[in-house]
């Protein structure tokens, strides 16, 4: 479990990265208008995409798969702050992507289509430490637009005008949850390409996490030679997740309550992973030693972590994911062993 939390950013998405402490960060208030970076009325002039949020999300999905781009972005989650470099190129129809942090210990993620290679100075990590990240999290993934469009009964889409991020004109969209058991998003998309430039994770009017490019290059100017890692250390490779329907093993544990729209995407023994298409969370069931961990409930930005001891079996149940604490708590209370 500790390895899971420590290496969480390595395996899957750009919206989850290892972080340094930034004391004193206070959640920003979300008042229904765009932030200073992206604050213009919905009456502003939009490009040929018109005022359809669906069309813009489709454009974003295409851009994240097909454009060459490189840049630096910041990720703020609670009191934690990261600077990360990303390079994404498409060669002969194949996506190549490299991420590495710019402060703190060096970590890298290299992705070639459906295979992720994680570079880390430590040599004691295993693929099991990374398998929990197969579910893409948040809006900075090519699948984000597809998932929003397929879950419109769970989220409401709206245009919020125009803005400017990293020196590039942007359109602003909101993805608001239909239920209060999950988060919403506000995203800034590049007007020219549709690439995501900035996103906010929002709960009840407060910004919980911020992703934002501070510099970005798009097109042929991207240096493809910068895809080579400089790390000399442990390397872990693993494929992205198979759908739960492709797994043959029988579940050992079950979750009796799930928020509307959530479904299992991976069940691996005592590890269960769920998503509604955007939000994700994982459930871990572990044996406890002579001195079991006390019950815990904490949040780091938009990530909730809750542990409790199962009364009948004595096992420790942990729920980790991008859902509000009240949702994680209810999920944890509903976990039970499967009886065949």
Query: Which pLDDT score, from 0 to 100, does residue 131 have?
Result: 44
Query: Which pLDDT score, from 0 to 100, does residue 81 have?
Result: 86
Q: Which residues of the chain have pLDDT under 50?
A: 1-45, 47-49, 130-138, 241-242, 244-246
Per-residue HEC secondary structure of 241-307 comes to: CCCHHHCCCCCCEEECCCCCCCEEEEEECCEEEEECCCCEEEEEEECCCCCCCCCEEEEECCEEEEE
Conformation bin of residue 104: beta by default, left when phi > 0, alpha when psi is -120 to 50: left
Query: Which pLDDT score, from 0 to 100, does residue 277 have?
Result: 78
Query: Which pLDDT score, from 0 to 100, does residue 236 have?
Result: 60
Q: What is the pLDDT of residues 237-261, one digit of tens each?
A: 555 544 544 455 677 899 999 999 8
SS3 108: strand
Query: Which pLDDT score, from 0 to 100, does residue 191 have?
Result: 95
Pick the CATH number of 244-337 from 3.40.50.1580, 3.90.1150.10, 3.20.20.20, 3.30.200.100: 3.30.200.100
Question: Domain residues of the chain, as ranges?
Answer: 2-239, 244-337
Query: Which pLDDT score, from 0 to 100, does residue 207 have?
Result: 94
Q: What is the pLDDT of residues 255-282, one digit of tens each?
A: 999 999 898 888 877 889 898 878 889 9
Q: What are phi and psi of 319, to 5 degrees?
A: -115, 125
Would you give the DSSP letter of residue 224? G
Contacts for 130 with CB less than 8 Å, ≥ 6 apart:
7, 10, 11, 116, 118, 236, 238
Contact between 87 and 222 (Cβ < 8 Å)? yes
User: Per CATH, is 2-239 categorized as 3.90.1150.10?
Assistant: no
Q: Which residues of 34-47 are buried (b: 16+ CB within 10 A; e: fewer)?
A: bbeebebeeeeebe
Q: Count of CB atoms within 10 A of residue 316's CB?
A: 20
Q: Which residues of 83-96 are buried (b: 16+ CB within 10 A; e: fewer)?
A: bbbbbbbeeeeebb
């Amino acid at each position: 479990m500790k390895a899971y939390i420590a290496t969480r950013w390595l395996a899957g998405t750009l919206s989850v990265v290892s972080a340094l402490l930034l004391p004193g960060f206070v959640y920003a208030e979300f008042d229904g208008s765009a932030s200073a970076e992206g604050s213009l009325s919905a009456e502003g002039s939009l490009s040929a995409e018109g005022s359809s949020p669906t069309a813009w999300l489709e454009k974003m999905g295409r851009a994240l798969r097909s454009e060459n781009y490189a840049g630096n972005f910041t990720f703020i989650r609670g009191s934690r702050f990261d600077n990360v470099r990303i390079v994404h190129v498409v060669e002969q129809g194949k996506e190549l992507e490299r991420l590495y942090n710019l402060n703190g210990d060096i970590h890298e993620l290299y992705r070639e289509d459906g295979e992720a290679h994680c570079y880390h100075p430590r040599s004691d990590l295993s693929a099991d430490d990374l398998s929990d990240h197969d579910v893409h999290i948040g809006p900075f993934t090519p699948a984000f637009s597809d998932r929003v469009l397929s879950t419109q009964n769970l989220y409401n889409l709206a245009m919020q005008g125009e803005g400017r991020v990293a020196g590039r004109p942007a359109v602003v969209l909101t993805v608001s949850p239909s239920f209060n058991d999950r988060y919403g998003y506000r995203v800034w998309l590049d007007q020219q390409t549709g690439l995501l430039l900035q996103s906010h994770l929002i709960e009840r009017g407060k910004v919980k996490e911020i992703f934002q490019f501070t510099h970005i290059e798009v097109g042929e100017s991207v240096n493809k030679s910068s895809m080579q890692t400089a790390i000399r250390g442990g390397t872990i490779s693993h494929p992205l997740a198979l759908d739960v329907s492709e797994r043959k093993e029988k579940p050992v544990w079950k979750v009796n309550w799930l928020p509307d729209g959530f479904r299992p995407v991976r069940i691996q023994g005592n590890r269960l992973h769920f998503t509604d298409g955007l939000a994700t969370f994982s459930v871990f069931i572990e044996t406890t030693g002579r001195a079991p961990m006390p019950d815990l409930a904490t949040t780091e930005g938009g990530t909730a972590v809750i542990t409790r001891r199962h009364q009948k079996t004595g096992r420790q149940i942990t729920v980790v994911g991008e859902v509000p604490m009240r949702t994680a708590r209810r999920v944890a209370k509903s976990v039970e062993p499967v009886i065949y």
